[in-house]
Amino acid sequence: DTESRGERPVLGFESVPVSTADEVVVPKGYTAEVLIAWGDPVSNGPVFKQDASNTAAEQAQQWGMHNDGLVYFPFVGSQRGLLVQNNEYTDDGLLFPDGVANWNQEKTNKSLNAHGVSIIEVTKRTGFPWDRRRRRGQWDVVRPSPFARRITGMTPIEIGGPAAGDPRLVTSEDPTGRRVLGTLNNCAMGFTPWGTYLACEENFNGYFRKNGPQTLLERRYGITAAGFGYLWHTTDKRFRADEEPNEPNRFGWVVEIDPFRPQSTPVKRTALGRMKHEGAWVQEARNGRIVVYMGDDERNEYIYRYVSNLPWRVARAQGINPLDDGILYVAKFHADGTGEWLPLTPDNPRLAGWSLNDILINTRGAADAAGATMMDRPEWIDTFPRALTAIATLTNNSRRGSSPPSVNNPDGSTAAGSARPPVDAANPRAINNYGHLIRWFYRHDWTEPTFGWDVFALCGDPANPAHGSTIVGDKYGSPDGIYVDPSGRLWVQTDVSTSTINAGAYAGFGNNVMVAVDPHTRETRRFLVGPKQCEVTGVMMTPDERTMFVGIQHPGERPDDLPGDPANPKQFSAWPDGPAGGRPRSACIVITKDDGGKIGS
Ligand code: FEO
Ligand code: CA
Ligand code: CA
Ligand code: CA
C-alpha cells in the first residue's frame, strides 16, 4: 500500500463549503444516498410508520435508532457484505407518536429494542446502463437475508472472561452472573481478524436510577437518582439500582458479536475492562498477538491498551478467545514526548490488594490508582499499521481543573480525589472547546511497553488566532469518529453538541462535518457536511475504497434545554424523508464517486 512506500495520499476533491442546510453535502463528483434509516426493516419485516406507531415487536425487526460506529464485513469483496452498525441510544420523544407521555411496559420494550446493534446484508447494484432507476454503483439492502439480525437491549448475552460469574455480576434473575439481557449505549466499535464485531457500551449508567446513597463504585461510574431521564425504571426493575444493585455492573463492557452466525450468542468480554467504552480498535502485532486500543469517553478519563497473551491464531486453536486472556494497560503520557503503558494487574505495586476482578469491574478506580494521565475525553482510535502509529481523538473538555471522584481501593474505602487535573503536555488547553488529535508510535512493534507521542492537531479555526488551532486547511472541532482508510488517508468526523452547533465558540462552523486529512502534509479538506443538528459518526470503506458507509446520527435533535414536542417532531430537521416524512431519522448513508474511483482520491 502507499503508506508502506512512503507515498503521500493525495486529496483529489474540492472542499465543500460550511453548510447549515438540512441535507448531506458531498463534493462535486460524489453521490450520497440513504441506505437504511431508523425503523426500516433489516430483512423482509414490517415497514417504518412515519407517525412512529410501530410496536416494540416491530422495532425488534427494524433498524435501531441513533446509529453510531459501523463495520463492513466483506462477503464477496467489495460487491457484497454484511454491514453492522451500533444503535447507540434513543430519543424517546421521537420514538412514539405521543412521545414519553403515558409511559408503559410496551414503551420500555420499544425503547430497549431500538437500542443495540443492527446487522444487514448489502449488495452493490450490478445495474443496467439503460435503466436509470437502478443506477450502477449504488447499494441495496438484501431483503430477505438470513444474516439480517437485531441485537437489542433485551437479547440474551453471555458474560465471558475472568469476571464472568463474579458475585458482583449476580442478580435476582441471574444467579450465575454469566447471562445478561441486552447491550446498551453502543457507541463506537471494532472488529477482529477472526471476523467478529465489537460493540462497545459507553454511557450505560444513564439508564439506571439509584435513589439511596451511592456506593463509591456507583459514584465513579455515575449511577445517579436522575439518570439521563429514561423512564425504563418505572416498568422494569432491572433499572432500579436500589433493588438490583449489581445490574449496572453487567454493563460497560465490550461485546463480541459474530455477524456470520446469526444464531450465535454475543459475549461481553470482561478482560477488556469496564468503563464508558467508546470503541475497541484491534491491531495485530508482528508476533500475531492482538493489541486493542480503547478510550473511556468522559472528561478526565483514560486511554487503555489490551494485549493478548497468545498469538490470536494459537489462542483460537487452543479454544481460547484472544479477548479473554491478556493484560490490560492504561496510558501515561510524559511531558518529554515519551509515554508508558501501566499494567492494570494485581502484581502492579500500586494495585496491591486488588484482585484481577476488582480491576476489571472497577477499571476506572484501578487506573486512578496506577497513576494514568487524565485525558480530554478520549473518543475514537485508529492505526497506521506500517508506521506503527496510532491516532486518537480527544473531543473536548470543559473540566480540566476538576477531577472525577476516585475509588482507589478494592473495598472502595479510599476516595483519593486527586487535585483538579492541570493542563499537561498531552492535554495542553485549560478550556478545550475544540478538542485535539494525539498520536503515539513504537520502534519495532505494537506490544512495546513504552512509546513516543505527539499532538497531531489542535482543532478550531486556523484563521482565528484566538483558537490556537494547528489545522492546515478547513476548520473543524469536537473530533469524534476517526478512520484510516486503506490508502492511508485520515478521515475525521465531528460531534459538536447540539446546543453549540454553529453558535458560541462554534459560530460560523455550520453543521457537523467529516474532513479528510493527508497525514503527511496535514492538509485538511471538508468532505461532507451533515443535515441540521446531526452528529456525523460511523465510517468505513469497502476494501477497494470505492464505497464509503457513513452514519448520520440524531438529525433534528433538540437542545437539552428544550422539552420534546411530539406535535412538532420536524421542528429542527426533516432529514432524510423531507416534507413527506413524519420525523427526522438517523440513517446510514453510502457514498460513491461518480467516476467509480476511490473515495477521496
Ligand atoms: Fe457516544 Fe463518546 O461518543
Ligand atoms: Ca453519539
Ligand atoms: Ca463518539
Ligand atoms: Ca462525541
Q: Each residue of 220-270: pLDDT tens digit? A: 999 999 999 999 999 999 999 999 999 999 999 999 999 999 999 999 999
The Cα 565–Cα 415 span in angstroms is 42
More confident residue, 244 or 415: 244
The Cα 330–Cα 438 span in angstroms is 15
Residue 4 burial by CB count (10 A; 0-12/13-18/19+): exposed, middle or buried? Answer: exposed
Ligand 1 atom closest to the CA of 187, numbered from 1: 1
Ligand 4 centroid from CA 379, angstroms: 7
58, pLDDT greater than 50: yes
Note the pLDDT of residue 131: 59
391, pLDDT greater than 90: yes
409, pLDDT greater than 70: no
Chain position carrying cell 511497553: 449
What residue segments make up the domains of the chain, in order of their start?
2-560+571-593
Ligand 2 centroid from CA 479, angstroms: 12
The answer to whether residues 90 and 111 touch, using CB atoms and an 8 Å cutoff, is yes
Shortest-distance ligand to the CA of residue 68:
2
| Number of Cβ within a 10 Å radius of residue 496 | 29
The Cα 323–Cα 161 span in angstroms is 8
Ligand 1 atom closest to the CA of 68, numbered from 1: 1
Greatest distance between any 2 Cα atoms in the chain: 73
Is the beta carbon of 88 within 6 A of some atom in ligand 1?
Answer: yes
Tell me which residue has its CA closest to atom 1 in ligand 1: 187
Residues belonging to the chain: 601
The Cα 304–Cα 440 span in angstroms is 13
Is the beta carbon of 181 within 6 A of some atom in ligand 1?
Answer: no
Backbone φ/ψ region at 191: left (φ over 0), alpha (ψ -120 to 50), beta? beta
Its sign, for the CA torsion 342, 345, 351, 357, is: positive
The Cα 393–Cα 382 span in angstroms is 9
Instruction: Please report, as a single letter, which amino acid is at residue 318.
Output: Q
- In order, the DSSP letters of 76-119 are ETTTEEEEEEEE----HHHHSTTTTTT--HHHHHHHHHTSEEEE
**Tens digit of pLDDT for each residue in 76-93?**
899 999 999 999 999 999
Nearest to 447 by CA among 334, 279, 283, 277: 283
418, pLDDT greater than 60: no
Ligand 2 centroid from CA 143, angstroms: 28
Phi and psi of 268, rounded to 5°? -80, 120
The answer to whether residues 276 and 204 touch, using CB atoms and an 8 Å cutoff, is yes
Is the beta carbon of 297 within 6 A of some atom in ligand 1?
Answer: yes
Fold held by 2-560+571-593: Neuraminidase (2.120.10)
The Cα 228–Cα 542 span in angstroms is 36
Q: Which three cell numbers stand for residue 275?
A: 468503563
Question: Is 227 in a helix, a strand, or coil?
Answer: coil
**Tens digit of pLDDT for each residue in 9-52?**
789 999 999 999 999 999 999 999 999 999 999 999 999 999 99
8, pLDDT greater than 90: no
More confident residue, 551 or 4: 551
Chain position carrying cell 442546510: 21
Ligand 1 centroid from CA 339, angstroms: 25
Question: Is 570 in a helix, a strand, or coil?
Answer: coil
The Cα 107–Cα 93 span in angstroms is 11
The Cα 140–Cα 138 span in angstroms is 7
Is the beta carbon of 187 within 6 A of some atom in ligand 1?
Answer: yes
Ligand 3 centroid from CA 491, angstroms: 14
* Measured distance between the N- and C-terminal CA atoms of the chain, rounded to whole angstroms: 14
Please give the share of the chain, as a percent, with pLDDT higher than 70.
Answer: 93
More confident residue, 304 or 136: 304
441, pLDDT greater than 60: yes
Ligand 1 centroid from CA 452, angstroms: 26
Note the pLDDT of residue 400: 80
Instruction: Please report, as a single letter, which amino acid is at residue 311.
Output: P
